[in-house]
Amino acid sequence: MRLSAYFLPLLRENPSEAQIVSHRLMLRAGMIRQSSAGIYSWLPLGLRVLKKVEQIVREEQDASGALEVLMPTIQPAELWQESGRYDDYGKEMLRITDRHERAMLYGPTNEEQITDIFRQSVKSYRDLPRNLYHIQWKFRDEVRPRFGVMRGREFLMKDAYSFDLDAAGAKRSYNRMFVAYLRTFARMGLKAIPMRADTGPIGGDLSHEFIILAETGESQVFCDKAWLDADILASEIDYAGDLEPFVERWTRLYAATDEKHDAKACPVAEDRLVTARGIEVGHIFYFGTKYSKPMGAVVAGPKGEPIAVEMGSYGIGVSRLVGAVIEASHDDAGIIWPESVAPFTLGLVNLRAADARCVAAADALYARLGAAGIETLYDDRDESPGAKFAAMDLIGLPYQLVIGPRGLDKGLVELKERKTGRKEELSPEAALNRLGGK
RNA sequence: CGGGGCGUAGCUCAGCCUGGUAGAGCGCCAGCUUUGGGAGCUGGAUGCCGGAGGUUCGAAUCCUCUCGCCCCGACCA
């Protein structure tokens, strides 16, 4: 993509309404614009990141055996009256009336909807287990939306729902999601730590919050030092096999939010205890028959007996993750994207848009990068070098390839790694080879 | 929902106390000169001063109401 033809409205100064770093950087880097409190538009650069995050979530859900569906944002009130949550949910739920005066609502979550779909079609234990998920916009009319995309009222969420015949099966489903979650966050370069959690209004009795460590996180967390070296992706996962040992391994390591942490009772020695800030990016629940019973999600068992299915639900804040990644990875100059979610892999910078020789060299490289399948944002604008460097650092692409007259005299270009700031002069050939390996 | 703050140019903000008809820096447009870490000069455009009502000869400024946004707290993917 040529920057001269892109829509990337950068801000040089910090908008006054943005207090936390991810919000500031997302606005400054032209990723989002606010529409009203807690509601945002996603601009091209931000949308690319959102899509990448979404895709990683999708791939790991699919790998775990979950099946993607897409449920509507607007739901009928009757479903929620059936489960008993229509009155319980309170003002967080945006209630709408259609032209026929029918009570509708903008879904804050989809347990009722999915249970309805399930009960209409699944009648036999032989069709279990199943896990259905979708990635859809939610609306929760938060009293106090804040922190940009991290606590919006409208947000993109992946929510999965598992259906099993019995508690043991439900625990296996829970384990699959537990593993998929650890892998999902690890792939985004995040250290996500599962912590025992209260179940809140969703209900149930087995639940973990996944909290990533970030200096700017909202909550105080405590964990065993071993978490810092945890390499989730090193383990081979067989979703068809027994995941309990893996889950056991990662739930045994101490981790607690400040609400649950008791310094006196803490089993971790002081020198092994890490105190850090955290952001919740996922939450999984096992809640048994809380919805299946009142809503009649019942299947015939092996002997023909009616069995209310055991359910769990599993959420990931997809849009929140975009902010969370920034909270976890930035410096004074701007964002530092992990490659897996970066909007582009490479920023190609032509320092002299007025110099025919530089333009020719940059154009040629741009064509070859495209042919090599490397996602490149090509800064072909006629701007001063300083402005270009600052813009590239701000938007945080993992690599920058700089072409200028000084280097070209020697037949060299400069490759800079955003994360480390390390720069290296090398031939265009060598640069292509280096990037091709990415 | 309780407490606090702020709405003036695209962004950051001054002006408000003490009323006299709107400013700066950056950005934007044009031209020239520049060019390896947010360049310089010259010229130019941009505002229902959040909205409504009131006081006044006169309101960005004073008063009343209202809307919006932000922060702290209680709650949340």
Q: Is the pLDDT score of A223 beyond 80?
A: yes
Percentage of the residues of chain A whose pLDDT score is greater than 90 = 83
Task: Say which residues have a Cβ less than 8 Å from residue A242's Cβ, sequence separation at least 6.
Answer: none
Residues 382-411 of A with CB under 7 A from strand B: 382, 384-387, 389-394, 402-408
A19 touches strand B (CB under 7 A): yes
The sheet that has A423-426: what strands, in order across it?
A: A376-379, A346-350, A399-403, A413-417, A423-426
pLDDT digits (tens, 9 = 90+) for A9-46: 999 999 988 889 999 999 999 999 999 999 999 999 99
Whole-number pLDDT of residue A216 = 80
Q: What is the rounded (10 degree) CA torsion for A376, A380, A381, A387?
A: 60
Q: Between the CA of A411 and the C1' of B39, what is the distance in angstroms? A: 27
Indicate the range of A104-118, A186-200, A303-317, A374-388 predicted with least confidence.
A186-200
A343 touches strand B (CB under 7 A): no
pLDDT digits (tens, 9 = 90+) for A82-93: 999 998 888 899
N-to-C CA span, chain A? 19
Nearest nucleotide to A387, CA against C1' atoms: B38
Q: Between the CA of A395 and the C1' of B15, what is the distance in angstroms? A: 36
The phi, psi pair for A16, rounded to 5°, reads -70, -25
CA distance A112 to A85: 9
Nearest nucleotide to A148, CA against C1' atoms: B70
A144 touches strand B (CB under 7 A): yes
A357 touches strand B (CB under 7 A): no
Residues 164-223 of A with CB under 7 A from strand B: 198, 200-202, 209, 218-219
The phi, psi pair for A161, rounded to 5°, reads -135, 125
- Reported as a pLDDT band with limits 50, 70 and 90, residue A199 is low
A14 touches strand B (CB under 7 A): yes
CA distance A255 to A207: 14
Distance of CA A394 to CAs A62, A343, A374, Å? Answer: 34, 13, 20
> Strand B: which nucleotides have any atom within 7 A of a protein Cβ?
1-2, 6, 10-13, 25-27, 34-39, 68-77
A145 touches strand B (CB under 7 A): yes
Q: What is the rounded (10 degree) CA torsion for A411, A416, A422, A424?
A: -10
pLDDT digits (tens, 9 = 90+) for A252-298: 899 988 877 877 888 888 889 998 889 999 999 999 999 999 999 99
Whole-number pLDDT of residue A203 = 52
Buried b (16+ CB within 10 A) or exposed e, A345-370: bbbbbbbbeebeebeebbbebbebbe
